Amino acid sequence: MNAKSKLIIVGLVIGAAMASGTVLAQTDVPGHPRVNEVNNRLENQQDRIQNGLKNGTMTQKQAARDETHDANIARRESVDEAKHNGHLTKQEQRNLNRSENGNSKRIYKQKH
């Protein structure tokens, strides 16, 4: 892998981590159980990705891709919340959970 590729991957990981930081800051919003569920799942997936990097079962490239997926889910959640004064509808929650399920399965397959 050349230096430019490594730089791109590092940039993606850092960008995803920054985007996911907004997710982590939003956990446990009082009176918003759907939002809390989505945020807690995203936080759990971030922990799984970090553990995979630490123990060597995931590569930086795999982690960057998974963090990009999580950041995309977080952006979609923010857009959905903005439409409904900080709340998620049941359908929006279902859609976000479906996306999280797919990412969770990818993380599992990469680590095993």
Backbone φ, ψ for residue 9 (5° rounding)? -65, -45
Higher per-residue pLDDT: 8 or 56: 56
pTM above 0.85, yes or no: no
For residue 15, give the amino acid letter: G
Residues 6 or more apart whose Cβ sits within 8 Å of residue 86:
29, 32, 35
pLDDT at 79: 95
- Residue with tokens 């279902």, as numbered in its chain: 94
pLDDT, tens digit (0-9, with 9 covering 90-100), for 61-88: 999 999 999 999 999 999 999 999 889 9
H helices of the chain, in order, are 3-25, 33-55, 60-83, 90-111
pLDDT at 44: 95
Question: What gap in Å lies between CA 110 and CA 104, rounded to an integer?
Answer: 10
pLDDT, tens digit (0-9, with 9 covering 90-100), for 26-63: 557 777 899 999 999 999 999 999 999 999 999 999 99
